[in-house]
Structures are given as structure tokens and as C-alpha cells.
Amino acid sequence: MYVSPGALQRDSAVPLYAQLEEILRAKIAQGEWQPNERVPSENELNKMYGLSRMTARGVLTRLVNDGVLFRVPGKGTFLAPQKIDALSPAYGGVREQLESMGYQTTTTLLGIQLEIPSGRVRDRLGLEAGQPVYAIDRLRSVQGEPISLHHSYVPDHLAHGLDQYDTANEQLCVVLASQYGLTMRRVDEQLEATAASAEEATLLQMRKGQPVLLLEDVIADLDGTPFEYSRIVFRGDKIRLRFDYKL
């Protein structure tokens, strides 16, 4: 049943708390509040709609739990910035997905160099000690705002001369496939929530310790040979990753 924004229908079979939630969602959809703007408090909702503070608190809590709002202790409840929904890179390049949704993206190449990898990188790529890799660091921005930090490692013996290619304006997966015949056929992923380091916070324009999503990918070809290991740090307040499993 549709409830007009701003009015409670007390003779309706729809519970009042559900009507209030729908009203608030409608106001948000209509742009009544902007991201990071404070929304009415429990007391204010009580006066506006004649509901108990407990009912108003429950509705606000539901919206907070859904990620629509967020609370700041001592200050109030605010409208959360809308997150970008993207599939894991295993289903398609993040840049390609964002651009297909109409977002303007830019990629800044922070560095690409040949180096002897750490033990962690070596183990992920199944390399012998001393085998060099290309370490590629990139910063991706959406609508001019940093959103993800990409650290990729590719074995030199599989992609010699990789540093000659434009990995800022061309997707790394495209370069590897078109120039070296390295096409993803298998991916091993690990996703965890963590806190931004000082360096990550500086690059992503956030505060140290704020939540980020860390996605680790080991990408292999048809023969099962790993050819890329990536660590991608996403701003937890800007993007939501989805996984689509078809069994």
C-alpha cells in the first residue's frame, strides 16, 4: 500500500512504524536530505508524527542497519552517502563496470617497477626465490574522488616488458590478455574488512583507521598457472562489492 510522504494513515492495516519508515525512505529518494546531512531526531519525529520515541528510534535503527543512515554519538543521525554497487573484479574489471554505469573514472599510475617480491607475493604466485615480478600501483577515482588503491604483481617471465605498456589508461587484464595471452580462467579471492593505514588514508583521502575493504585475488590461466596477484583496497564508505554465484 502506498503511503504519501508526510502523512500517517492511522486507520491503515500497515503498522505505523512501517509507514514511518516508508515516509522517510520516500523523503530520502526525493532528495529532502543530502548525504552527510542530519535527519530529524527521535524527538523531532515524535513531534512531527505523534509517535513514541521508542517507535521512532526503532525506525531510525532499521535505516542505520540497512546502511541508509549513520549515527554520530553526541551529534545525531545523518544520511549516509550512497555506495556504488560493483561486482567483484573476478566478474569484470572494476573500471569497466563503473564506466558502464555512467561514472567518470580516472586511473593514476603511482608506479611500476621490476622487483624481487616478498615471501607473501612469491607464495601467491608460486615463484622460486629470486624470480622478479612487476609491481604495479594504481589509484582509481570516480567523479574525481579516490575510491580504490590497486597493488598488482605479475611475474616477469610471463609478461616481460610489461612496463612499456600504458597500464593507467588500459586495464591491466586487457594488456595481459592482448599482449601476452594471459587470460583469466580461475581466480582465488579473499575479502576482509580492515582499517586504512596512514599511507592508504592519504591516497584515498580518508582518515587513518577508517574502514576499508581489502580484496586479494590470485588469477590463473587455463593451465592453472598464476599470473597475477592483486591487493585492492576499496573505500568502505563508497563502494559495496557483490558476488554472483551460479550453481
Q: Please state the three-class secondary structure of 168-218 as a single string.
A: CCCCHHHHHHHHHCCCCCEEEEEEEEEECCHHHHHHHCCCCCCEEEEEEEE
**Cα separation of 68 and 86, whole Å?**
18
On whether the CB atoms of residues 154 and 227 are closer than 8 A, the answer is yes
The per-residue pLDDT for 3 is: 38
CA proximity to 200, closest of 177, 231, 163, 170:
231
**Distance of alpha carbon 48 from the chain centroid:** 36
The per-residue pLDDT for 86 is: 65
Q: For 59, how many CA atoms within 13 A lie in the half-sphere containing its CB?
A: 24
Reading the block at residue 123, the C-alpha cell is 607464495
The per-residue pLDDT for 4 is: 41
Beta-carbon contacts of residue 137 (< 8 Å; ≥ 6 apart): 109, 110, 111, 112, 149, 150, 151, 152
DSSP symbol at 103: -
Which stretches in the chain have pLDDT values below 70?
1-6, 84-94, 101, 242-247
The per-residue pLDDT for 91 is: 59
* 84-242: CATH class: alpha beta
CATH ID of 16-79, from 1.10.287.3510, 1.20.1440.60, 3.30.930.10, 1.10.10.10: 1.10.10.10
The per-residue pLDDT for 88 is: 66
Domain ranges (residues) in the chain = 16-79, 84-242
Q: What's the pLDDT tens digit per position in 6-19?
A: 678 888 888 889 99
- Is-same-fold flag (16-79; 84-242)? no
The per-residue pLDDT for 80 is: 83
DSSP symbol at 119: H
Q: What's the pLDDT tens digit per position in 108-132?
A: 999 999 999 999 999 999 999 999 9
Beta-carbon contacts of residue 109 (< 8 Å; ≥ 6 apart): 136, 137, 138, 167, 168
Q: Is the pTM of this model over 0.75?
A: no
The per-residue pLDDT for 1 is: 34
On whether the CB atoms of residues 227 and 158 are closer than 8 A, the answer is yes
